[in-house]
C-alpha cells in the first residue's frame, strides 16, 4: 500500500473503516481467537492496517507493547503477507493482511495459528542476526501447529488445507521432508498462503532487558487456564464467591492430570469419574474399572488410597480407554488381553513417574518394551500365568476394561466420534509433552502407539479386510497331485500339485451376509461393497459366503461364491426393510457355523437389530443406523 493511499484512507476516519465487511469479519474472528485464555495470555499484538493502531492480543487497543519494533502509528505494514491471511514476527506481532476478505472463523484460525507459532517456540525473540527457517522447517512447524489446532478446535482453516497431519515433532518432520520431499498437501499449510508465516527479527529491546519467552508464557497460561476451566466446570469453585469446594481424592487426581500432566490432560478433561459404592459393589469393582465408549471411570469410593495412588489408578484407566484396549483385543481372550494391557500400562506409568502404583497390581520389568499384543502372546503360551488369578484394579480374576457402560445411557447422547476424541486428546497431549523440556522422555512404546493412533484412519475396505482376517478362520487347502493345479496347462511337463478345500474346511471358513435389497441402497455403493467382499474372499480362499437377501422378508440364497453375490441381487420391492428375520435365519441355520461372523449391508433405513454373534455393518458414508451398533460400522465411500 502506498503512502498516498494510506493517507487517503486515514482521511476517511475510523468509524467508516470499521464498518466495511472485511473489517467486521476480521474483528469478529480476532475477538473469537482472543476468547481462548491461553492465546490471550501470550501478550502478543495483532496489527491489521497501517495507521489505526495496534490491537493487543488481549483485545485492548492502545500503544504498542514495550519493546515493539515499530510504533503502530508509523503505519508500517510491509510484514503482512501479500496474499495469505497473516504472519507473525519474533516481537510477538501478528501482521494481518490489511484488506483481504475472509470468514471470521478463518481469521480466528489464522490468528490462532500465528500465536501458536509463538507459543510453540517457533519465533523466539533473540538479539543479533537471525536465520530464517528453511522451507522444510517452515512446513513442518506449520503442520505441527495445524495438528494441534485440529484438536484445539479454534476457528476453521481456509479451504484446501488437509484435515489430517502426520505424527512426530517438527524436527522429525522437517528431517523426513528434507530427505523425501514435502508432500504437496503440507507444502503451504501456513497462515501466509505460499509465503513463510514466521519472521525472525533481531531483538533490539533496551540493553539489560531480557527478550520475552513466548513459549514459557504460553505453557504457563495453558496450565492455569485449563485447571481454572476444569474447576468451574466441575463445580469445584462456587460460581458466586469463587471459593474452592473441598474435593475428594480422585477428583483431585483427575484435576491434576488436566492442570499438570498435559499428556493425559486432554483425555482427562473429557472423562467422568463415577464414584458410586453401590454400583461398584454390584459390578465387583474393587477399586476401579473403565468403559471407553461412555468415557466413564467407575471407582469404589470406599477404597482408601493416597492422592498419588489415585493418580496412578486414573492414569491406568485413561490409558486403557484412550488406547482402545477393549476394541483392539479382537477375538483374543478378553481377560488375558486385559491382563496383558495392565502389564504394559503399569510399566509405562511407573516409567513416567505418574503417581504411585497401589500394591497388588501387575508389573514385570521383563516385559518392558513389549506391546500389549506381544505380552498377550507370551501370557497365552504360559499356562502357569493363566492358572493364577491376577489382579487388575477391578480385582482378582476380573478385567477392568468393561465392554459396556454400567449406567444406562441415552443412545442419542453417545459420543458421535469417540475414536476422534481419544485420538485428538492423546495427540494434543503428546504435542504439549514433547515441547516441554522439563517433562522428560516418554516410553517409546507409548509414543509409538499414540503416533499410530494419529495416523489417518485406514480406508473402509482395508478395515473390512482386517475384520474378516480377525474373525473368519483361514481355510487350509490340501495339496494333492490327484487334482491338477490351476496353472498346470502352462507347464504340461512338470506335474504340479493342485490345491483344494475339503468340505469340512469350506464349512468352517465362511461368513454370513445379510443384504438389504429394499431398493434404497445406492447401486454404485452396493457394487463397491460387494466388490470388496469378493476380492477379500478371492485373496483369502474363502470359497463361499452364506447369503440372505432381505427386504420386507428374508430370501435365503444359501452359499454363494462371493464373486456371484452381486449377480444375484434383485431389488425386490420397496415395502420397507426387516433385517432381523434375515439375521435370525442365519443364526438358526444348521449349515452355518456357530462362530462364523455376519456382515450386514444396509443403507440404515432398517429395523433395530440384535445380532448375538460377531458382526459388522457396511453402510454408505453419511448413512446412520437407527440404533447404537455393537459391532464395527464400515462406511463405504
**285 part of the interface to Zn ion, by CB under 5 A:** no
Q: Which residues have C-beta within 8 Å of that of residue 262, sequence separation ≥ 6?
A: 222, 223, 428, 429, 432, 433, 436, 439
- Write down the least CB distance from residue 146 to Zn ion, Å: 8
Stretch (H or E) spanning 177: helix 170-180
DSSP 543-601: --EEEEEESSSEEEEEEE-HHHHHHH------S----HHHHHHHHH-TTS-TT--EEEE
| Contact by Cβ (8 Å): 39, 112 | yes
Residue among 89, 106, 342, 505 that touches Zn ion (CB under 5 A): 342
- Write down the least CB distance from residue 533 to Zn ion, Å: 36
Instruction: Tell me the C-alpha to C-alpha distance, in Å, between residue 103 and each of 20, 30, 47, 83, 429.
Output: 13, 11, 18, 15, 29
Residue among 54, 64, 133, 190 that touches Zn ion (CB under 5 A): 190
Query: Which C-beta is closer to Zn ion: that of 189 or that of 217?
Result: 189
Tell me the number of residues near Zn ion by CB under 5 A: 6
Residue among 106, 137, 400, 614 that touches Zn ion (CB under 5 A): 400
Altogether, the residues listed in the chain come to a count of: 637
Stretch (H or E) spanning 110: helix 104-119
- Write down the least CB distance from residue 578 to Zn ion, Å: 41
**347 part of the interface to Zn ion, by CB under 5 A:** no
- Write down the least CB distance from residue 359 to Zn ion, Å: 15
DSSP structure class, residue 190? S
Contact stretch for Zn ion (CB under 5 A) within 211-219, 393-401, 405-413, 601-609: 393-401
Residue among 23, 90, 93, 392 that touches Zn ion (CB under 5 A): 392
CA gap 523, 516 in Å, rounded: 12
**155 part of the interface to Zn ion, by CB under 5 A:** no
* Residue ranges in 393-522 assigned as alpha helix (H): 418-434, 444-454, 460-471, 503-508
Residues 121-150 that bind Zn ion (CB under 5 A): 142
Contact stretch for Zn ion (CB under 5 A) within 59-67, 185-193, 434-442, 576-584: 185-193
CA gap 325, 19 in Å, rounded: 54
Query: Which C-beta is closer to Zn ion: that of 195 or that of 276?
Result: 195
Query: Which C-beta is closer to Zn ion: that of 197 or that of 296?
Result: 197
- Write down the least CB distance from residue 189 to Zn ion, Å: 7
Which residue in 326, 321, 302, 292 sits closest to 250, CA to CA?
302
- Write down the least CB distance from residue 145 to Zn ion, Å: 5
- Write down the least CB distance from residue 271 to Zn ion, Å: 15
Query: Which C-beta is closer to Zn ion: that of 9 or that of 311?
Result: 311
Query: Which C-beta is closer to Zn ion: that of 309 or that of 400?
Result: 400
Residues 440-479 that bind Zn ion (CB under 5 A): none
Query: Which C-beta is closer to Zn ion: that of 122 or that of 424?
Result: 122
- Write down the least CB distance from residue 190 to Zn ion, Å: 3
DSSP 152-164: HT-S-PPTT--S-
Q: Which residues have C-beta within 8 Å of that of residue 364, sequence separation ≥ 6?
A: 343, 347
b/e per residue 97-109 (b: at least 16 CB within 10 A): bbebebebbbbbb
User: Cα–chain-centroid distance for residue 562?
Assistant: 34
Contact stretch for Zn ion (CB under 5 A) within 152-160, 226-234, 387-395, 420-428: 387-395
Torsion, Cα of 248, 250, 254, 255 (10° steps): 20
- Write down the least CB distance from residue 266 to Zn ion, Å: 20
**197 part of the interface to Zn ion, by CB under 5 A:** yes
| Contact by Cβ (8 Å): 597, 616 | yes
Which residue in 114, 130, 92, 276 sits closest to 190, CA to CA?
114
CA gap 214, 358 in Å, rounded: 39
Contact stretch for Zn ion (CB under 5 A) within 148-156, 335-343, 518-526, 530-538: 335-343
- Write down the least CB distance from residue 168 to Zn ion, Å: 16
> Helices 262-269 & 307-322, crossing angle to 10 degrees?
70
CA gap 14, 61 in Å, rounded: 13
- Write down the least CB distance from residue 62 to Zn ion, Å: 27
- Write down the least CB distance from residue 630 to Zn ion, Å: 22
- Write down the least CB distance from residue 117 to Zn ion, Å: 6
Contact stretch for Zn ion (CB under 5 A) within 11-19, 196-204, 500-508, 588-596: 196-204
- Write down the least CB distance from residue 22 to Zn ion, Å: 22
Query: Which C-beta is closer to Zn ion: that of 364 or that of 556?
Result: 364
Query: Which C-beta is closer to Zn ion: that of 361 or that of 529?
Result: 361
Query: Which C-beta is closer to Zn ion: that of 23 or that of 372?
Result: 372
Q: Which residues have C-beta within 8 Å of that of residue 598, sequence separation ≥ 6?
A: 511, 512, 513, 514, 583, 586, 611, 613, 614, 615, 616
Query: Which C-beta is closer to Zn ion: that of 398 or that of 529?
Result: 398
C-alpha grid cell, residue 195: 509465503
Query: Which C-beta is closer to Zn ion: that of 137 or that of 197?
Result: 197
CA gap 213, 231 in Å, rounded: 27
Query: Which C-beta is closer to Zn ion: that of 184 or that of 489?
Result: 184
φ, ψ of residue 52 to 5 degrees: the values are -100, 5
Contact stretch for Zn ion (CB under 5 A) within 98-106, 336-344, 496-504, 543-551: 336-344
- Write down the least CB distance from residue 192 to Zn ion, Å: 7
Query: Which C-beta is closer to Zn ion: that of 197 or that of 251?
Result: 197
Q: Which residue has the cell 533490539?
A: 204
Residue 230's CB is within 10 A of a number of other CB atoms, namely 20
Query: Which C-beta is closer to Zn ion: that of 172 or that of 195?
Result: 195
Query: Which C-beta is closer to Zn ion: that of 391 or that of 550?
Result: 391
Residues 8-47 that bind Zn ion (CB under 5 A): none
Contact stretch for Zn ion (CB under 5 A) within 200-208, 375-383, 388-396, 571-579: 388-396
Residue 507's CB is within 10 A of a number of other CB atoms, namely 16
Q: Which residues bind Zn ion (CB under 5 A)?
A: 142, 190, 197, 342, 392, 400
Amino acid at each position: 500500500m502506498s503512502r498516498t493511499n494510506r493517507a487517503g484512507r486515514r482521511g476517511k476516519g475510523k468509524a467508516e473503516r470499521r464498518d466495511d465487511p472485511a473489517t467486521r469479519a476480521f474483528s469478529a474472528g480476532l475477538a473469537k481467537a482472543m476468547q481462548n485464555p491461553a492465546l490471550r495470555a501470550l501478550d502478543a499484538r495483532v496489527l491489521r492496517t497501517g495507521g489505526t493502531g495496534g490491537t493487543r492480543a488481549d483485545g485492548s487497543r492502545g500503544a504498542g507493547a514495550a519493546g515493539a519494533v515499530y510504533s503502530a502509528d508509523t503505519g508500517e505494514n510491509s510484514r503482512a503477507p501479500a496474499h495469505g491471511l497473516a504472519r507473525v514476527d519474533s516481537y510477538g506481532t501478528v501482521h494481518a493482511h490489511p484488506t483481504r476478505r475472509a470468514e471470521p472463523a478463518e481469521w480466528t484460525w489464522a490468528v490462532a495459528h500465528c500465536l501458536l507459532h509463538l507459543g510453540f517456540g517457533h519465533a523466539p525473540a533473540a538479539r543479533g542476526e537471525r536465520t530464517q527457517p528453511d522451507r522444510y522447517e517452515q512446513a513442518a512447524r506449520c503442520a505441527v501447529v495445524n495438528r494441534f489446532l485440529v484438536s484445539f478446535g479454534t476457528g476453521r482453516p481456509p479451504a484446501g488445507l488437509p484435515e489430517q497431519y502426520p505424527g512426530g515433532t517438527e524436527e522429525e518432520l522437517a528431517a523426513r521432508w528434507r530427505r523425501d520431499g514435502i508432500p504437496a498437501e503440507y507444502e503451504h499449510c501456513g497462515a501466509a498462503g505460499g509465503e513463510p508465516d514466521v519472521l525472525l527479527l533481531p531483538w533490539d529491546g533496551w540493553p539489560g532487558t531480557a527478550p520475552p519467552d513466548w513459549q514459557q508464557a504460553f505453557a504457563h497460561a495453558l496450565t492455569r487456564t485449563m485447571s481454572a476451566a476444569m474447576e468451574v466446570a466441575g463445580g469445584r469453585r462456587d460460581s458466586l464467591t469463587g471459593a474452592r469446594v473441598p474435593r475428594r481424592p480422585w477428583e483431585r487426581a483427575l484435576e491434576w492430570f488436566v492442570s499438570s500432566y498435559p499428556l493425559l490432560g486432554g483425555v482427562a478433561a473429557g472423562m467422568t469419574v463415577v464414584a458410586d459404592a453401590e454400583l461398584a459393589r454390584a459390578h465387583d469393582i474393587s477399586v476401579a474399572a473403565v468403559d471407553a465408549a461412555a468415557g466413564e471411570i467407575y471407582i469404589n469410593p470406599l477404597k482408601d488410597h493416597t492422592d498419588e495412588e489415585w493418580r496412578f489408578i486414573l492414569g491406568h484407566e485413561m490409558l486403557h480407554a484412550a488406547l482402545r484396549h477393549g476394541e483392539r483385543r479382537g477375538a483374543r481372550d478378553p481377560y488375558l488381553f486385559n491382563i496383558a494391557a495392565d502389564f504394559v500400562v503399569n510399566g509405562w506409568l511407573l516409567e513416567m513417574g505418574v503417581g504411585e502404583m497401589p500394591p497388588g497390581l501387575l508389573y514385570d520389568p521383563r516385559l518392558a518394551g513389549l506391546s500389549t499384543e506381544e505380552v498377550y502372546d507370551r501370557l497365552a503360551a504360559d499356562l502357569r500365568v493363566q492358572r493364577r488369578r491376577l489382579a487388575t484394579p477391578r480385582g482378582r480374576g476380573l478385567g477392568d476394561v468393561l465392554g459396556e457402560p454400567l449406567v444406562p445411557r441415552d443412545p442419542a447422547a453417545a459420543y458421535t466420534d469417540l475414536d476422534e476424541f481419544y485420538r485428538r486428546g492423546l495427540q494434543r497431549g503428546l504435542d504439549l509433552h514433547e515441547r516441554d523440556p522439563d517433562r522428560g522422555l516418554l516410553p517409546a512404546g507409548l509414543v509409538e502407539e499414540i503416533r499410530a493412533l494419529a495416523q489417518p484412519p485406514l480406508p473402509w475396505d482395508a478395515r473390512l479386510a482386517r475384520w474378516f482376517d480377525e474373525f473368519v478362520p483361514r481355510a487350509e487347502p490340501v495339496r494333492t497331485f490327484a487334482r491338477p493345479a490351476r496353472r498346470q496347462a502352462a507347464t504340461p511337463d512338470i506335474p504340479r500339485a493342485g490345491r483344494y478345500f475339503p468340505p469340512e474346511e469350506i464349512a468352517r471358513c465362511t461368513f454370513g451376509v445379510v443384504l438389504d435389497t429394499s431398493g434404497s441402497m445406492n447401486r454404485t455403493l452396493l457394487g463397491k461393497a460387494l466388490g470388496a467382499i469378493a476380492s477379500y474372499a478371492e485373496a483369502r480362499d474363502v470359497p463361499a459366503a452364506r447369503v440372505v437377501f432381505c427386504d420386507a422378508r428374508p430370501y435365503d440364497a444359501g452359499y454363494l461364491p462371493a464373486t456371484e453375490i452381486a449377480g444375484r441381487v434383485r431389488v425386490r420391492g420397496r415395502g420397507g426393510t426387516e433385517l432381523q428375520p434375515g439375521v435370525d435365519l442365519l443364526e438358526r441355520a444348521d449349515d452355518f457355523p456357530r462362530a462364523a461372523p455376519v456382515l450386514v449391508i444396509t443403507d440404515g433405513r432398517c429395523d433395530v437389530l440384535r445380532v448375538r454373534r460377531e458382526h459388522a455393518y457396511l453402510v454408505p458414508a453419511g448413512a446412520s443406523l437407527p440404533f447404537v451398533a455393537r459391532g464395527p460400522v464400515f462406511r463405504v465411500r
